[in-house]
Structure 1
Amino acid sequence: MQFISFFHPIVWIILNGTIFTRIASFMTIPFLAIYLQNQLHASPLMIGITLGIAQLCATVGGFIGGYLTDKFGRKFIILTTVFIWSAVFVGFATVGVVELFILLNAINGLCRSFFEPATQALMIDFTEEKKRRRLFSFRYTAINIAAVIGPLCGVWISGMSNAKIPFFITATMYAVYGVFLIFMFQKYDVTPQNQAQKQTILQMFKVIFSDKKLLYLLAGGILVNLCYSQFDSTLPQYINLNIENGVKLYSVLITLNAIVVLALQLPIGIYTERISIMKSLVFGILFFAAGFIIFNFAHTPWLFIVGMIIFTVGEIFAFPMMNALIEEIAPATQKATYLGASQFKNLGGFIGPVFGGWLLIHFSSELYIVMAVIFLFSLVFYRLAFLMKETV
Structure 2
Amino acid sequence: MKVIQYFHPVVWNILLGTIFTRIASFMTIPFLALYLHSELHAEPVTIGIIIGLAPLLATVGGFFGGYLTDRFGRKLIILVTIFCWTLVFLGFALSTSIVVFGFLSALNGLCRSFFEPATQALMVDYTTPEKRRRLFSVRYTAINIAAVIGPLVGVWLASLSSPQIPFIITGAMYALYGFALVFILKKYATQAVIKATKSITAVFQVVFTDRKLLLLLAGDILVSVGYSQFDSTLPQFVNATLDDGVKLYSVLIAVNAIAVLILQLPLSVISERISTIRTLILGIVFFAIGFVLFNISESWTMFIIAMILFTIGEIFAFPMMNAVIEEIAPEDRKATYLGASQLKNLGSFMGPVLGGWLLIQFQVGVFHIIAVITLCSIPFFYWTFAKKEA
Would you say same fold, with TM above 0.5? yes
What is the match of residue 149 of structure 1? 149
- Aligned-pair distance for 1:248? 5.0
Q: What's the CA shift for 1:49?
A: 4.1
Q: Distance in 2 between matches of 1:387 and 1:292?
A: 28
Distance 1:75 1:259, change over 3 A: same
Residues in 2 aligned to 1:255 and 1:220: alpha-carbon distance in whole angstroms: 27
User: 1:12 matched to which residue of 2?
Assistant: 12
Greater shift in the superposed pair: 154-163 or 53-62:
154-163
Distance 1:380 1:263 in 2: 30
2:183 match: 183
Offset, 1:207: 1.3
Equivalent residues of 1:134, 1:270 under 8 A apart: no
Mapped partners of 1:237, 1:88: distance in 2: 24
Aligned pairs (5 A) from 1:275-354: 275-298=274-297, 301-354=300-353
Change beyond 3 A, Cα 1:274–1:178: farther
Q: Residue 140 of structure 1 aligns with which residue?
A: 140
Q: Compute the displacement of 1:225 (Å).
A: 0.8
Matched to 2:203, the amino acid is M
Counterparts of 1:233 and 1:38, CA distance in 2: 14
Which residue does the alignment assign to 1:2? 2
Q: Which moved more, 1:257-266 or 1:84-93?
A: 84-93
Does residue 1:215 correspond to 2:214, yes or no?
yes
What residue is the counterpart of 1:205 in the other structure?
204
Corresponding position of 2:123: 123
Give the whole-Å Cα distance in 2 for the aligned partners of 1:366 and 1:88. Answer: 36
Larger mean CA deviation between 233-242 and 344-353 belongs to 233-242
Distance (whole Å) between structure 2 residues aligned to residue 236 and residue 165 of structure 1: 21
Distance in 1 (alpha carbons) for counterparts of 2:248 and 2:147: 18
1:195-252 residue CA offsets vs partner (Å, 9 max, x unmatched): 5231222222111111111110110001101112233344445556666755554444
* C-alpha separation in 1, matches of 2:57 and 2:280: 27
Amino acid aligned to 1:345: K
CA deviation after TM superposition for structure 1 residue 118, in Å: 0.6
Give distance in 2, aligned partners of 1:225 and 1:261: 18
Deviations 1:47-71 (A, max 9, x none): 5543332221112111111111111
CA distance in 2, matches of 1:130, 1:276: 19
Evaluate the alpha carbon distance shift between residue 89 and residue 367 of structure 1 in structure 2; reply closer, same or farther with a 3 A threshold: closer
Q: 1:272 to 1:75 in 2, by over 3 A?
A: farther
In 2, the alpha carbon distance for the partners of 1:50 and 1:365 equals: 24
Percent identity, aligned pairs only?
A: 60
How many angstroms apart in 1 are the aligned matches of 2:127 and 2:273? 18
Letter of the aligned partner of 1:310 in structure 2? L
Per-residue deviation, residues 100-131 of structure 1 (Å, max 9, x unmatched): 33322222211011000111111112222222
- Equivalent in the alignment of 1:260: 259
Match of 1:90 in 2: 90
Please tell me the residue identity of whatever aligns with 1:390: E
Contact 2:144 2:260 in 1 (8 A): yes
Decide whether the 8 Å contact of 2:63 with 2:342 is kept in 1.
yes
Partner of 1:229: 228
- How far apart, in 2, do the equivalents of 1:174 and 1:367 lie? 36
Partner of 1:196: 195
Deviation at 1:166, TM superposition (A): 2.9
CA distances 1:160-193 after superposition (whole Å, capped 9, x unpaired): 3444433332222222211111221122222228
Aligned to 1:63: 63
Using a 3 Å threshold, how does the CA distance of structure 1 residues 266 and 7 change in structure 2: closer, same or farther? Answer: farther
SS in structure 1 at match of 2:196: coil
Rounded to whole Å, the distance in 1 between the matches of 2:228 and 2:100 is: 26
Report the residue type matching 2:120 in the other structure: Q
Q: Hey, what does 1:355 align to over in structure 2?
A: 354
Q: Is the 8 A contact 1:137 1:265 kept in 2?
A: no
CA RMSD between the two structures: 2.7
Query: Does structure 1 residue 171 correspond to structure 2 residue 171?
Result: yes
1:92–1:294 distance in 2 versus 1, CA, 3 Å: closer
Instruction: Give the alignment's TM-score, normalised by structure 2.
Output: 0.89
Q: CA deviation at 1:260?
A: 0.5
d(CA) in 1 for partners of 2:360, 2:20: 39
The letter for the 1-side match of 2:284 is I
Q: In 1, Cα distance between the equivalents of 2:34 and 2:130?
A: 44
From the superposition, tell whether residues 300 and 106 of structure 1 become closer, same or farther in structure 2 (CA, over 3 Å).
closer
Q: Displacement, 1:157?
A: 2.9
Aligned-residue offset at 1:96: 4.6
Q: Is the 8 A contact 2:64 2:339 kept in 1?
A: yes
**Residue 259 of structure 1, CA deviation:** 1.4
Would you say the 8 A contact 2:33–2:236 is kept in 1?
no
TM-score by length of 1: 0.89
Paired letter, 2:74: R
Which whole-Å CA distance do the structure 2 matches of 1:244 and 1:163 have between them? Answer: 20
Instruction: Report the residue type matching 2:267 in the other structure.
Output: I
Change beyond 3 A, Cα 1:345–1:4 = same
Measure, in 2, the Cα distance between the counterparts of 1:339 and 1:8.
21
Q: Distance in 2 between matches of 1:237 and 1:153?
A: 20
The 3 A distance-change label for structure 1 pair 177 and 234 is: closer
Partners of 1:168 and 1:11 in 2: CA distance: 27
CA contact (8 A) 2:62 2:339 kept: yes
| 1:254 Cα deviation after fit | 2.7
For 1:325-361, what per-residue CA distance to the aligned partner results, in whole angstroms no more than 9, with x for missing partners?
Answer: 1111111111111111111111112212333344445
Gaps of 5+ in 2: none
How many residues are treated as equivalent by the alignment?
389
Could you give the per-residue CA deviations for residues 342-384 of structure 1, whole angstroms, max 9, x where no partner exists?
1111111221233334444555555444433333321211111
